[in-house]
Amino acid sequence: MSPSAVVWDPALLAYDMGDQHPFNPVRLHLTMRLAAALGVLDDVPLLSPEPAGAKDLYRAHSAEYLEAVQQAPMAGWDVGHGLGTEDNPLFTDMHDAASLVVGSTLLGARCIAEGRAQRAVSIAGGHHHAMQDRAAGFCIYNDCSVAISWLLEQGYDRIAYVDTDVHHGDGVQAAFVGDPRVLTISLHQHPFTLFPGTGYSSEIGAGDGEGRAVNVPLPPHTGDAGWLRAFHAVVPSLLEAFRPQVLVTQCGVDSHREDPLADLSLTVDGHRAIYRELRALAERWAEGRWLAVGGGGYQLMRVVPRSWTHLIATVLDHDVTPDVPLPVEWTDLVRGVAPSAEVPPTMSDGADVGYSPWGDGLDDAVDAAIRDTRRAVFPLHGLDPDDPRD
Ligand SMILES: [Zn+2]
């Protein structure tokens, strides 16, 4: 069994945009407590990150932007760069907190590159909307882009990034849009209906990186079966063709049916199925190297802790069966934080995650998305977009 690294430190809870903001760090705290209560973390050392330094932050961000983030809490107004907005409010020590998030994902990447682990998970990471010179979508610094850039510098030249958050992974796509060494694949709710309004299947990268950006915009209420059908119709073939040396995955869980910000209608069981598939693909096509990060997810009590406990468990090969009851010590903790919360009884939503593979002659809105994406990029990878065997 290959060793896997879990990066975590309670100091990561300092990335806190306020009690009224959806991106509440309690979701990370409750996840780690649930994973521990279920025994997922037994005998697993937690690796404590250092904040990323300027040299690494410059991989993804301009010096002017870094300066603005550092000054913003003191300036307090009119700082620009997407800072101080409703989505990205200023908070004390935001530069330090955001740098630690980057350091967390970077430590996971380092463990993999140095051969200390085959897989690593950084649930505090996944800030995929942050742009070179601007905060966006609750994200200040883009840990995904920094880690991928760092991995490229270590000599890897084929890195695949798969983004399963309900929102388009726009910041990571933008960072590597002309770079043939990085394949970005994002499955997300259709940009007509959701922030950030990008991620059309026609966005395929540019120049030497043409075909290296892949987007699957899915209709609202796609659900587990449709999502998994789309994933299987697009992702495995591209990974087989690209043969990445490392698979980086952004595992946002705002695709859940109870998420207050989006409408893709997946379940915790669907999330678990996705993680198991990502693991299998890393084993099969990425030499076993898998760096998993968190991301969005705003049903703080009922969804994020269960889904990301499944994520951590999957990375560690400590898989948790869906019908496992939630430990009393954890449900008591949740009731202490949120007395009116209705806590689910098990690690499952009771959903069936069966799906029918694409190519069976049906033609609904999900199939139309699949077809558009395949036709946009498959020929650029030597694959036949209309042949279900590819
Ligand atoms: Zn999201």
Give the tens place of pLDDT for each residue, 252-302. 999 999 999 999 999 999 999 999 999 999 999 999 999 999 999 999 999
- Calculate the dihedral angle through the C-alpha atoms of 173, 174, 180, 182, rounding to the nearest 10 degrees: -40
Q: Please tell me the total number of residues recorded for the chain in this structure.
A: 390
Classify 300 as helix, strand or coil. Answer: coil
- Check: pTM over 0.85? Answer yes or no: yes
Give the tens place of pLDDT for each residue, 134-164. 999 999 999 999 999 999 999 999 999 999 9
| Burial class for 8, CB neighbours closer than 10 Å (0-12, 13-18, 19+) | buried
Residue linked to tokens 């598939």: 277
Residues 6+ apart with CB under 8 A from 67: none
Q: How far is the CA of 60 from the centre of ligand 1 (A)?
A: 19
Strand partners, 90: none
CA distances in angstroms from 272 to 20, 282, 313, listed in the order given = 29, 15, 10
Please report which helix (H) or strand (E) contains residue 163, including its range: strand 159-163
Residue 79 confidence (pLDDT): 87
Angle at 305 between CA 304 and CA 310, to 5 degrees: 95
Q: How far is the CA of 252 from the centre of ligand 1 (A)?
A: 6
Reported as a pLDDT band with limits 50, 70 and 90, residue 362 is confident
Give the tens place of pLDDT for each residue, 27-84. 999 999 999 999 999 999 999 999 999 999 999 999 999 999 999 888 866 789 999 9
Residue 2 confidence (pLDDT): 58
Spatial separation of the C-alpha atoms in residues 83 and 356, rounded to whole Å: 44
Gap between the terminal Cα atoms of the chain: 31
The protein residues having their C-beta less than 5 angstroms from ligand 1 (an ion) are: 165, 167, 252, 254, 296
Q: How far is the CA of 23 from the centre of ligand 1 (A)?
A: 10
Residues 6+ apart with CB under 8 A from 300: 24, 26, 27, 30
Catalytic residue among 61, 81, 129, 310: 129
Residue linked to tokens 């990445």: 244
Give the tens place of pLDDT for each residue, 81-129. 999 999 999 999 999 999 999 999 999 999 999 999 999 999 999 999 9
Q: What is the DSSP string of 208-266?
A: GGTT-EEEEEE-TT-HHHHHHHHHHHHHHHHHHHH--SEEEEE---TTBTT-TT----B
Reported as a pLDDT band with limits 50, 70 and 90, residue 1 is very low
Give the tens place of pLDDT for each residue, 164-184. 999 999 999 999 999 999 999
Is 129 annotated as catalytic?
A: yes
Question: What single letter denotes the amino acid at residue 147?
Answer: A
Q: How far is the CA of 254 from the centre of ligand 1 (A)?
A: 6
Judge whether 383 and 376 are in contact, CB under 8 Å.
no
Judge whether 173 and 202 are in contact, CB under 8 Å.
no
Q: How far is the CA of 212 from the centre of ligand 1 (A)?
A: 21
Residues 6+ apart with CB under 8 A from 86: none
Residues 6+ apart with CB under 8 A from 200: 191, 215, 217
Spatial separation of the C-alpha atoms in residues 133 and 209, rounded to whole Å: 22
Give the tens place of pLDDT for each residue, 178-207. 999 999 999 999 999 999 999 999 999 999
Q: What is the 3-state secondary structure (H, E, C) of 135-157?
A: CECCECCCHHHHHHHHHHHCCCC
Radius of gyration of the chain (CA): 19
Question: What single letter denotes the amino acid at residue 266?
Answer: L
Q: How far is the CA of 247 from the centre of ligand 1 (A)?
A: 19
